[in-house]
Chains A and B, each alone.
Chain A
Amino acid sequence: MDPLIYILDIIVFIGIFAIVALSLNLEYGFTGLGNFGKVAFFLIGAYTYALLIETGLHFVLCLIIAAILAGLIGSLISLPALRLREDYLAIVTLAFGEIIRIVVKAEHWIAHGVWGITVPPAIFWEGVSFRMTIASHIGLVFFCLLICFILVQLVTNSPYGRVIRAIREDEVAAATLGKSCFKYKAQVFAIGSALAGLGGALFAQYIGYIEPYMFMPMLTFTVWIMVLVGGPANNWGTLLGAALVQLFIRGAKMVKDYILVPVDPINLQYILLGLLIIFILLYRPGGLLKESQVKTTAVERASQWKKHS
């Protein structure tokens, strides 16, 4: 197979998963929400897009509606779930992800259950080379990624971003300073779910065919690794983490095709990944890039003060 195709393919996946990872970074890195049900909203976005595009709706609308629906369901889930302590929240969100997947698998009328559903690509030009097709996907995905990145940067580099960090550090203290912690957590969860839904929709139209086995808890864990490796509470770190993890995972598939290794590279890859995570958790829990600080005019004012004193 054409190596360039491999590389372009990896780039698309980096873009898609970067969006999902940014959403988890917002929820966990900045706000401290241990959401282990990311795949649920990814699935909702994917299937919503798949079903809507069949109705002939314009793909931009389909993407937007998929994101909004995922966000709305995220809001609904957050009402009962966010009151739980962190390990319960993790388990509940994990269970929710599995329930959604089982429903889609069992109810064939939704999307053909295990037989899956085909999804036409969003942008399609007749008679164009395969490379150009992937390039157009890269264009679409990275455009969406840019918007998402700007969004999370604006949200986190602001007084709002300060509040959610405070909630992460000490909810009780934040409450005694007048912050309605539940409101903030719910908003963050809704945005995070919407972004994950967008990622899912982009995934569906790129891969062309989706079925329930593509949406296992493993996907959620992969996204968690991206956030941890890159550095929680640093959006650039998340991008880096997404790139590194995707390269690592898909790189193994490339190795399998090109190099003969005595061990199955996929197994080796996951073993190494597991070791890497444990290593990071032990020796560098902050990940590769440090947590980013809130930089507003307040910081400038303080720096000037320092100079004058």
Chain B
Amino acid sequence: MINWAQVLFNSCVTGSLYLISAVALTLIYGLSRFPNFAHAEFMALGAYVGYFVAEQLGLGFPATFITAFLASGALGVISYKTVFQPLAKHGASIIHLMIASIALGFIIRHAIGEIWGWEPLSFKVAWTSFDVGMVRVSGIWLWLILAALVLAGVLHLMLVKTKIGKAIRGTSSNPELALASGININQVTATTWFISAALAGIAGLFRAAGTRLAPLLGWDILLPTFAVTILGGIGSFYGAIVAAFIIGLVENVGVVILVSLGLSTEYRMAIAFVILILTLLIRPQGLTRMFRGT
């Protein structure tokens, strides 16, 4: 008998992780208009900095999360200032920007590999698992779902209520108009890179806390993150949230179906990729239209 309650819970967990990661990606993809493959390494860095603070410094989780958030965010801004902004000024094409992000990924990933080694690491914290009815729940997953909801809420408020949030929305939907309205595009972009990378760091940290740490950690979730971003509509904050849970659900239900059909669970990853390809071929704008500022 299939434990659908468990499947539903697992979907929420997967969806929450994808939410944080994809909201981060969609914000920057919508603004800078290129797929940032270094997103994977922003996630990895968050995880490793978190490991450093929690395991090597022995500080508690609040410090871990804050440091991971800030470190990844800083890396995002540095990446923008040293690589992407100069390239954009030189008139680089989307492909050039993409390749630069891949190159940046090499640098960060191998720096991480050099500092922490390539062997997988684990957080020593033992998360308590307990049963809620038919569902097996682990503390870390509850924190993840909570974090996803809180971050989504905070971002929503920021985008709708704050000046910088409105500036981000405006610049995303109409850069020329934003410039003409006196918005400081560079500042908006740098801020968005910070937020995007910082959120990626948190996603990476949760992923590592729930599983293991390895320098290629980011790449495990990168393509599914792209699938969510594209399904939700590039640049669409709300679209990413909805798409994250859709893909989370499809993946987990998919695993059940795969097992019942006798197929390998290796295909779990392929599910998100197939959704990604189908979305791009059938409806490239995704579920919602490009996020439009009011």
Determine whether A and B are in direct contact in the complex, meaning some CB atoms lie less than 8 angstroms apart. yes
B137 at interface, CB cutoff 8 A: no
Give the dominant DSSP class at B's interface.
helix
Q: What's the nearest-Cβ distance from chain A to residue B114, in Å?
A: 4
B63 at interface, CB cutoff 8 A: no
- A residues within 8 A CB of B104? 274, 278
Are the C-beta atoms of B264 and A106 separated by less than 8 Å? Answer: yes
Q: What's the nearest-Cβ distance from chain A to residue B103, in Å?
A: 4
Are the C-beta atoms of A107 and B96 separated by less than 8 Å? Answer: no
Q: Contacts A84-B284, A102-B270 known; A275 to B223 CB distance under 8 Å?
A: no
Are the C-beta atoms of A267 and B113 separated by less than 8 Å? Answer: yes
**Contact check: which of B99, B107, B226, B280 meets A281 at CB < 8 Å?**
B99
Are the C-beta atoms of A96 and B277 separated by less than 8 Å? Answer: yes
Q: How many residues of B contact A (CB 8 A)?
A: 43
B90 at interface, CB cutoff 8 A: yes
Kindly identify, within residues 82 to 126 of chain A, every residue whose CB is under 8 Å from any CB belonging to chain B. Answer: 84, 86-88, 90-92, 94-96, 98-99, 102-103, 105-107
Are the C-beta atoms of B277 and A264 separated by less than 8 Å? Answer: no
Q: Contacts A96-B277, A105-B266 known; A275 to B92 CB distance under 8 Å?
A: no
Q: Which of B87, B92, B263, B273 has the most CB of A within 10 A?
A: B273
Q: Contacts A86-B95, A281-B100 known; A98 to B269 CB distance under 8 Å?
A: yes
A181 at interface, CB cutoff 8 A: no
**Contact check: which of B35, B93, B109 meets A91 at CB < 8 Å?**
B35
Are the C-beta atoms of A102 and B269 separated by less than 8 Å? Answer: yes
Q: What's the nearest-Cβ distance from chain B to residue A252, in Å?
A: 11
Q: Which residues of B contact A (CB under 8 A)?
A: 34-35, 83, 86-87, 90, 92-96, 98-100, 102-107, 109-111, 113-114, 219, 223, 226-227, 230, 263-264, 266-267, 269-270, 273-274, 276-277, 280-281, 284
User: Can you sample 21 A-B contacts with CB below 8 Å?
Assistant: A34-B95, A80-B281, A84-B280, A84-B284, A90-B98, A91-B280, A92-B281, A98-B269, A102-B269, A106-B266, A106-B267, A263-B114, A266-B110, A267-B110, A267-B111, A271-B111, A274-B106, A274-B110, A278-B100, A281-B103, A285-B92
Given A91-B35, A268-B110, A270-B106, 7 new contacts (CB under 8 A) = A34-B94, A80-B281, A86-B93, A98-B270, A221-B102, A273-B103, A277-B99
